[in-house]
Amino acid sequence: MEKSKEYLQKEKFFADLDRLHLSLTFDDVRLKTRYYPEDYDPNQAPDLSTHFSKNIKLKLPFVSAAMSTVTESDMAIAMAKEGGLGIIHNAMDIDKQKKELRKVKKYVNSLIEKPIIVQDDWSIEQLLNYCNDKNFNFTTFPVVDQNENFVGMLTNNNLKYELDESKQIKDIFTPLDKVIRTDPKISSEDAFLMMKKHKTSTLPVIDLNNKVVGLYLWSDLVRIHHEKSNYNVNEKGQLIVGAAISSGTDYLERIEEIKNYTDLLVIDSADGDSKFVVDALIKVKENYPNIDVVVGNISEGESALKLAEIGADGIKVGQGPGSICTTRIETGIGTPQVSAIYNCFSKLNEKYSSIPICGDGGIRDKGDISIAIASGASSVMMGRVLAGVKESPGKVISRPDGSQYKEYYGMGSRKSFDNNPNSKIRYNQTDNQVLIEGVESIIPYQGELKTVLNGLVMALKKSMIYLKTKSIEEHRYNTNFTRITNSGLRESGSHDVNVIGI
């Protein structure tokens, strides 16, 4: 792909910094606005869709962190319903992680895999008794003959005007030649389109042997696939979710248990370019070539390139930018986040531009998200920004003065190490004596996730309007930076006034 004028400018900006061995983070830069290009349509809302990994699409570039105070099933469900993604942490035993993932997968039922079927020679009376006994509150059934072959559909419409209960189902049902049906290969979205086209509220799935193997209901599919729906779903119409795994001893056993309930895996480590992680990536890709594997965390371009060569389907960047992280202070390592993301982005562009980067950690102000994307991130992972919502794990803490909080602690904090032995593996530590690399904190309670995400969406769209970028992809390539000083930063916020409201 030919490099745009804007991309060349961005390259120069970072090359100049590199010559000085200087790395920057969010507060060190702002994004440069520009005169609108000829092909820019100001009436077209910016498109926020993107990828978390090669095959995992997102409607919004937001991912909730794989942390025990951020993402379990409630958060992952809420994130996917809004178009984002939750990564369920693995500081829990395999069984519990499987249960959490399963809850997300079962949240929306796009395809009823084992629909209740009824037989064509039953009388209506028999059917009504059956529904009564079983406490069914529905009257839509695929109908089969004595050999269990599909012969038609019975719906509420067939039933409601029939007053003679001695009649058989085959006297009143919709017979085979009038039933719109489909085969098992259809995706949930195509099933939706087919039902829309034929204006049918039920779509039985029939296999080559004429057996009923599923049922789609319009009422379920419209919730998922309506153009106004933000639901982020897979081919089967299930909410998309990711699972964190570590490079410790149990990861293959873990994957075997959870593989049917997750759309992707994230090898989650504080030291993502270590031999442990590389070995794990190789093994996982060998054993599970069809599942996307995102690997992190790193901050150097060379490491991104090597992980891509080995088969990573996505790269997670961020060593120490997180609000609860003390890794940089304790160990002296780490590159400030804007440069870390750009390092990986520019290196991957040489050969692996289809591998997305997730900028993990350090998002403080809403504008930081736009800056992370302009640095090359396809999505951002957030802990603190999301940990205060209703859907994060843990109770709301109420203070006597009426203020409300939620607990938020680092996966490398003492509390995490004490509560979940697994969290030590993220930091390659297994001994009793460990180096603490994170803190415990409380943060203000924020109510529902939806409200917080709406605020982030509005801010990102507005940023892209100022920058005249139409999509996340364009934003990654064509947005430029200016370096600012402390005076510039001071000028950026409100100043020289007594703030009495916003």
Looking at the Cβ atoms of 81 and 384, the one nearer to ligand XMP is 384
Residue 407 gets which letter from DSSP?
E
Looking at the Cβ atoms of 416 and 469, the one nearer to ligand XMP is 416
Residue 280 burial class via C-beta count within 10 angstroms: exposed 0-12, middle 13-18, buried 19 and up: buried
Of residues 380-399, those binding ligand XMP (CB under 6 A): 381-384
Supply the minimum distance, in Å, between the C-beta of residue 10 and ligand XMP: 24
Residue type, 280: A
Told to check if 242 binds ligand XMP by CB under 6 A, we report no
Supply the minimum distance, in Å, between the C-beta of residue 221 and ligand XMP: 34
Q: Which of 31, 48, 65, 241 binds ligand XMP (CB under 6 A)?
A: 65
Question: Sign of dihedral through CA atoms 188, 190, 192, 194?
Answer: negative
Q: Which of 411, 443, 453, 456 binds ligand XMP (CB under 6 A)?
A: 411
Q: Which of 269, 346, 413, 480 binds ligand XMP (CB under 6 A)?
A: 413
Told to check if 361 binds ligand XMP by CB under 6 A, we report yes
Looking at the Cβ atoms of 6 and 360, the one nearer to ligand XMP is 360
Supply the minimum distance, in Å, between the C-beta of residue 297 and ligand XMP: 6
Q: Catalytic: which of 325, 344, 358, 384? A: 325
The full DSSP string for 444-490 is E--B-HHHHHHHHHHHHHHHHHHHT--BHHHHHHH-EEEE--HHHHH
Residue of 472, 452, 460 whose CA lies nearest to 78: 452
# of chain residues touching ligand XMP (CB under 6 A): 25
Residue 447 has phi, psi (to 5 degrees) of 80, -150
Told to check if 323 binds ligand XMP by CB under 6 A, we report yes
CA distances, 306 to each of 268, 309, 314, 318, 380 (Å): 17, 5, 12, 17, 22
Looking at the Cβ atoms of 80 and 195, the one nearer to ligand XMP is 80
Supply the minimum distance, in Å, between the C-beta of residue 437 and ligand XMP: 4
Supply the minimum distance, in Å, between the C-beta of residue 267 and ligand XMP: 12
Q: Which of 314, 322, 336, 356 binds ligand XMP (CB under 6 A)?
A: 322
CA dist 78 and 425 (Å) reads 28
426 is annotated as an active-site residue? yes
Contact by Cβ (8 Å): 179, 153: yes
* CA quadruple 37, 42, 45, 46: dihedral, nearest 10: 20
Q: Which of 188, 327, 335, 349 binds ligand XMP (CB under 6 A)?
A: 327
Half-sphere exposure of 426 (CA within 13 A, CB side): 32
The full DSSP string for 234-254 is -TTSPBP-EEEE-SSSSHHHH
CA distances, 59 to each of 232, 319, 427, 457, 460 (Å): 7, 26, 32, 11, 13
Q: Which of 412, 424, 469, 479 binds ligand XMP (CB under 6 A)?
A: 412
Helix H, strand E, coil C: the string for 378-389 is CEEEECHHHHCE
Residue of 327, 328, 358, 336 whose CA lies nearest to 429: 327
Q: Give the per-residue contact string, 432-461, with ligand XMP (x = CB under 6 A; - = no).
A: -----xx-----------------------
344 is annotated as an active-site residue? no
As a whole number of Å, the end-to-end CA separation of the chain is: 44
Of residues 130-159, those binding ligand XMP (CB under 6 A): none
Q: Which of 104, 154, 324, 389 binds ligand XMP (CB under 6 A)?
A: 324
Told to check if 61 binds ligand XMP by CB under 6 A, we report no
Supply the minimum distance, in Å, between the C-beta of residue 251 and ligand XMP: 18
**Applying CB under 6 A, which residues contact ligand XMP?**
65, 67, 270, 297, 318, 320, 322-325, 327, 360-363, 381-384, 410-413, 437-438
Active site residues: 325, 426
